[in-house]
Amino acid sequence: MIDYRHRLKPDYKLIREFITNGATVLDLGCGDGTLLEALIKDKKVKGIGVDIHPEGLNEAMGRGLSVLQLDLNKGLKSFKDKSFDFVVLNMTLQAMWDPLLVIQEMVRVGKKAIVGFPNFGHWQLLFRLLATERMPKTKTLPYDWYNTPNIRLMTINDFKSLCAGNGIKIVKDRYLSTSGTEIHRPFIRWRAAEGIFLLTQK
């Protein structure tokens, strides 16, 4: 069972700031539609959600949302170039088989893309890995290594170099601590529990 409760945690505030009023939004990994519904309410966006899990999709439909059951690992073939103002992928990239394809598709389909993901370079995780020699578990990453849906654990630096190497421009970047407050320099790469990036095609 997937836990969607994190969806309206502090990261929502940052995502909301990136999105302009009345924009069109494609929410990838929309789950039960919590984020999309909030954006429709707060920012008057027009949006579509995409996910692969039936339970979440059914709940999202029950909220009157327009949601499609598609496998993101197959790309976004159903969507035309620049057909949305924003394509959002929040706390889902780490569960993708082919994260690069997903990011490339996001900046193709969206004029802008927003990606939020848990930073595996957080000092507590690094410390625990060093101290216990076991893959760390946290509130946002509560699984064992063999049953986790989060198959692509990456750090802030990993993500930045992936973007740099593939023609993807980071327009804005914001970071949250483990307690959900926004953090600023220095040592963001160790202190951030989550990074949220606004991207475009170079």
Give whichever of 64 and 165 is closer to other proteins, judged by the CB atom. Answer: 64
Q: Which stretch binds other proteins (CB under 8 A): 68-76, 107-115, 126-134, 175-183?
A: 68-76
Q: How far is the CB of 58 from other proteins (least distance, A)?
A: 4
Partnered with residue 175 across adjacent β-strands are 183, 195
Partnered with residue 69 across adjacent β-strands are 51
Helical pair 156-165 and 99-109, crossing angle rounded to 10 deg: 60
The contacts of residue 107 (CB under 8 Å, 6+ apart) are 87, 113, 168, 199, 200, 201
Interface pick for other proteins out of 80, 139, 169, 202 (rule CB under 8 A): 80
Cβ 57 vs Cβ 27: under 8 Å: no
Q: How far is the CB of 32 from other proteins (least distance, A)?
A: 11
Q: How far is the CB of 50 from other proteins (least distance, A)?
A: 9
Cα–Cα distance for residue pair 108/82, rounded to 1 Å: 6
Partnered with residue 113 across adjacent β-strands are 87, 199
Q: Which stretch binds other proteins (CB under 8 A): 75-83, 93-101, 154-162, 176-184?
A: 75-83
CA–centroid distance for 64 within its chain? 23
| By CB under 8 A, residue 48 contacts other proteins | yes
Give whichever of 48 and 193 is closer to other proteins, judged by the CB atom. Answer: 48
| By CB under 8 A, residue 30 contacts other proteins | no
Q: How far is the CB of 60 from other proteins (least distance, A)?
A: 8
Question: DSSP letters of 6-41?
Answer: GGGSTHHHHHHHHSPTT-EEEEET-TTSHHHHHHHH
| By CB under 8 A, residue 68 contacts other proteins | yes
| By CB under 8 A, residue 22 contacts other proteins | no
**Phi and psi for 125 in degrees, rounded to 5?**
-70, -45
| By CB under 8 A, residue 66 contacts other proteins | yes
Residues of this chain that interact with other proteins (CB under 8 A) are 48, 54, 57-70, 78, 80, 83
